[in-house]
Amino acid sequence: MSMEIAIPQPVERENYLNKEYGVWSWLLTTDHKRIALLYLISITFFFFIGGFFALLIRLELLTPAGDLVQADTYNKLFTMHGMVMVFFFLIPSIPAVLGNFLVPMMIGAKDLAFPRINLLSWYLYIIGGVMMLHCMLTGGVDTGWTFYAPFSTNYSNTKIVEAGLAIFVAGFSSILTGLNFVVTIHRMRAPGLTWSRLPLFIWAHYATSIIQLLGTPVIAVTIVLVACERALHLGIFDPRLGGDPLLFQHLFWFYSHPAVYIMILPSMGVVTEIIACFSRKRIFGYSFVAFSSIAIAVFGFLVWAHHMFVAGMSVYAALVFSLLSYAVAVPSAIKVFNWTATLYKGSIHYDAPMLYAFGFLGLFTMGGLTGLFLAALGIDVHVTDTYFVVAHFHYIMVGGAVMGYLGGMHFWWPKISGRLYPEGWARLAALIVFIGFNLTFFPQFLLGYMGMPRRYYDYSHMPEFQVLNVLSTAGATVLGVGYLLPMVYFLWSMRYGKPASDNPWNAAGLEWKTASPPPTFNFDEEPVVTWEAYNYEELDAPHSEEVPVAR
C-alpha cells in the first residue's frame, strides 16, 4: 500500500487530543494514548530530578577533595540518583510512554486489554513518585540504590522504609503494565496478524513484560522483608541471628539484573523499527531478532549473581554464573549483527531518529562488550566497585536505553502530536548528546581500570584522577544541554511545528495507517492484515518535511 500525498483538510479532524478538554478528561482517561502522555510528563519530571542529582555528583567530583558536600550527603546523592533514574525513569520510560501509545495501534486494537488497569498503573506510579519525593525532601536514603543488608536493615539512619515502599508501589505499576501488554498481545491482535507478522517492537515489549511480571514481585517481597526487619525487628538478613546478608543480595539481584533487560529490550525494539525504516529494508533475520528478545528475557534471569562475585559467595557458584553471563551476551550480539546486516545495501536516510539509532548501535555494543569483561571472574575482582562498572552500565542505560528512547520519541513524535519537530535542531541535539555522552563516560572506563572506586566523594589520595574527572563533568554538562534541546523544540513544535501527515516517514506498521494524531479508537475500521512486517519494498522513500500539508 503506497502512501499518497495528504489531502489538504480545511477542518481539524477529531483525534484523541481534541476529543475532550479539561483536566478531568485527562486524569480519568482510559485512552492508552492519553495515559502514555501522562506518563511522558511524569517520567520527564523524574528524569530531571535524577539528572539534578547527577549534576551534583559530578560537581563534587571536579576536585579530589570532598569539598562540595559532606560524605553522608554524597551517599544520599548517588543513592537518590540511582533510585530515581532506575525505578522512576528507565524502567517505565519506553514501555509506559511508547509502549502504551503504540502497542494497541501496532496490533490493530482499539485499546489495551485493561484500560482501567492502565490508568491505575499510572496512578500507582504517581503515588510511588510522590512518596519518593517526600522521602528525598525529608532526608533521603544513603545506602546506594542497592540498599544492601545489614546496613539498610540495621545500621542506616535514613528513610529506607519509606523509599522501599515508594519503590514497591512503583513496582506494582510496572507489573500491571506488563500484565496489560501480555494479555493484549495474546488476545487482541487484528485478524491476520500472526506472531510472525508482528513488528519487532511488539516482540521486544512482550519479552520486557515477561521480565516485569516474573521479576518485580521478587524485589517487592525483598522490600517487604527489609521493611519488616527495620520496622518490626523480624530479622531475616540479620547476621546476629544467623541470617545471611548475601541472601538479601540474591533476592535483590534476582530482580535487578533482569531489570536491566527491562530497560534495554524496549530500546532495542525501537531501534529495530528505526533501522528498518531508515534503511528502507526489512530487518535482516526477523526470526532471530524475535527469538533473541525472548532469549534475553529468559537468560537474563540466570545470571544475577555476577553482581556478587566479590561478596563472599561460593566460588563454584560464581563459576556457573560467570559462564551463564557469557551466554546472555549471545542474543544481544545476534541482534547487533542483524541490525548491521539490515544496514548493508540499505538506502540510508540520516534523519534524527536514525542518528540516535546509530548512536545506540555503537554505544550499546561498547557497553555490552565491557559487560563481558565484567563477567570474567579475574577481571571482575579488579574492577568491581570501580568506575569501570559505572561506565559499563551507563553505556548501556544512557548510551543504549536513553538514546533508543530519544530516537523513538523523535520517530513517533509526528504520530503522537500530529506535528513535525524541527529536523535541523534534532540532528544537532543528537550530535550534542553523542559527544556529551562519550565525554562523560569514556573517561570513567579509564578511571575505573586505574582503580578509582565508585561511591567515593573524596579521591584526594589519588589526585592524578582529577583530569579525567573534570573531562567527565564537562561531558555531563554538554549532555545536559543535549537533553534540554528536545524538551524545548518538542514543546515548540506542538504549537508551531508543521502538521504531520499520516505517515511522514513512509514507514511500515499499522500505526502509520491511521491519522496523526490518531482518533480515540485508533482506527476507523478494524484492520485486516494480509502482509508481512516491514514491507518496505512496497513503500516509497520518506518524504522530506517540505511536502505541502495544509494547516
Partner 1 sequence: MSGHSTSSPLKTYFVIWAALLAGTYVTYKVAFIDLHPFNAAIALTIASIKATLVALYFMHIKGASEKLTKMVVISALFFLLLLLGLTMTDYATRLWS
Partner 2 sequence: MPDSTVVSLQHEEQHCPELLHHFADPQQQRDASSLGMWVFLATEVMFFGGLFCAYLIYRLKFFADFGAASKSIDATLGATNTAVLICSSLTVVVAVWAAQTARRTLLIGMLAVTMLLGFVFLGIKAVEYKDKFEEHHVPGASFSFDRVPIPGHPDQYANPQHAQLFFSLYFVMTGLHALHMVVGLGIFSWLLYAARKGRFTPEWHTPVEIGGLYWHFVDIIWIYLFPLLYLIDRHP
Residue 542 DSSP one-character state = P
How far out from the chain centre does Cα 98 lie? 11
* Closer Cβ to partner 1, 324 or 409, answer by number: 324
Are 131 and 165 contacting, i.e. CB atoms less than 8 angstroms apart? yes
* Closer Cβ to partner 2, 136 or 262, answer by number: 262
Task: Name which of residues 191 to 210 contact partner 2 (CB under 8 A).
Answer: 191-192
Q: Is residue 241 close enough to count as binding partner 1 by CB under 8 A?
A: no
Q: Is residue 316 close enough to count as binding partner 1 by CB under 8 A?
A: yes
Q: Is residue 310 close enough to count as binding partner 1 by CB under 8 A?
A: no
d(CA 322, CA 306): 6
Helices and strands in the chain: count of H runs, count of E runs: 17, 0
x/- contact string, 85-114, with partner 2 (CB under 8 A)?
------------------------xxxxxx
Residue 244 CB, shortest distance to partner 2, in Å, is 7
Of the ranges 48-56, 93-101, 310-318, 397-405, which one interacts with partner 1 (CB under 8 A)? 310-318
Residue 313's binding partner among partner 2, partner 1, none (Cβ under 5 to 8 angstroms by kind) is partner 1
x/- contact string, 183-222, with partner 1 (CB under 8 A)?
---x-----------------------x---x---x----
For 477, half-sphere exposure in the C-beta direction (CA atoms, 13 angstrom radius) is 7
Q: Is residue 222 close enough to count as binding partner 2 by CB under 8 A?
A: yes
* Closer Cβ to partner 1, 3 or 207, answer by number: 207
Taking alpha carbons only, the member of 440, 328, 461 closest to residue 390 is 440
Are 128 and 173 contacting, i.e. CB atoms less than 8 angstroms apart? yes
Taking alpha carbons only, the member of 67, 130, 119, 116 closest to residue 96 is 119
Could you tell me the three cell numbers for 361?
Answer: 548501535
x/- contact string, 528-547, with partner 2 (CB under 8 A)?
x-------------------
d(CA 50, CA 58): 13
x/- contact string, 496-535, with partner 2 (CB under 8 A)?
-------------------------x---xx-x-------
x/- contact string, 244-273, with partner 2 (CB under 8 A)?
x--x--xx--x-------------------
Instruction: Please spell the DSSP secondary structure of 101-135, one letter per residue.
Output: HHHHHHTT-SS-S-HHHHHHHHHHHHHHHHHHHHH
Of the ranges 67-75, 186-194, 199-207, 456-464, which one interacts with partner 2 (CB under 8 A)? 186-194
Q: Is residue 313 close enough to count as binding partner 1 by CB under 8 A?
A: yes
Q: Is residue 218 close enough to count as binding partner 2 by CB under 8 A?
A: yes
For Cα atoms 166, 171, 173, give the angle at the middle one, nearest 5 degrees: 105
Are 331 and 295 contacting, i.e. CB atoms less than 8 angstroms apart? yes
Q: Is residue 427 close enough to count as binding partner 2 by CB under 8 A?
A: no
Residue 97 DSSP one-character state = I
Exposed, middle or buried, 99 (CB in 10 Å: 0-12/13-18/19+)?
A: buried
Q: Is residue 234 close enough to count as binding partner 2 by CB under 8 A?
A: yes
Count interface residues toward partner 2 (CB under 8 A): 49
* Closer Cβ to partner 1, 253 or 523, answer by number: 253
Q: Residues 89, 301, 393, 490: which binds partner 1 (CB under 8 A)?
A: 301
Q: Helix (H, G, I), strand (E, B), or coil: what is residue 419?
A: strand
d(CA 156, CA 321): 30
Count interface residues toward partner 1 (CB under 8 A): 19
Residue 302's binding partner among partner 2, partner 1, none (Cβ under 5 to 8 angstroms by kind) is partner 1
Q: Residues 126, 133, 236, 329: which binds partner 2 (CB under 8 A)?
A: 236
Exposed, middle or buried, 123 (CB in 10 Å: 0-12/13-18/19+)?
A: middle
Taking alpha carbons only, the member of 490, 544, 495, 503 closest to residue 415 is 503
Cα four-point dihedral sign 377, 383, 388, 394? positive
Q: Is residue 224 close enough to count as binding partner 1 by CB under 8 A?
A: no
Of the ranges 44-52, 67-75, 216-224, 498-506, which one interacts with partner 2 (CB under 8 A)? 216-224
Could you tell me the three cell numbers for 95?
Answer: 514501555
Taking alpha carbons only, the member of 214, 216, 245 closest to residue 229 is 245
Residues that bind partner 2 (CB under 8 A): 109-115, 175, 179, 182-184, 186-189, 191-192, 213-218, 220-222, 224-225, 228-229, 232-236, 240-244, 247, 250-251, 254, 521, 525-526, 528
Residues that bind partner 1 (CB under 8 A): 186, 210, 214, 218, 246-247, 250, 254, 301-302, 304-305, 313-317, 320-321
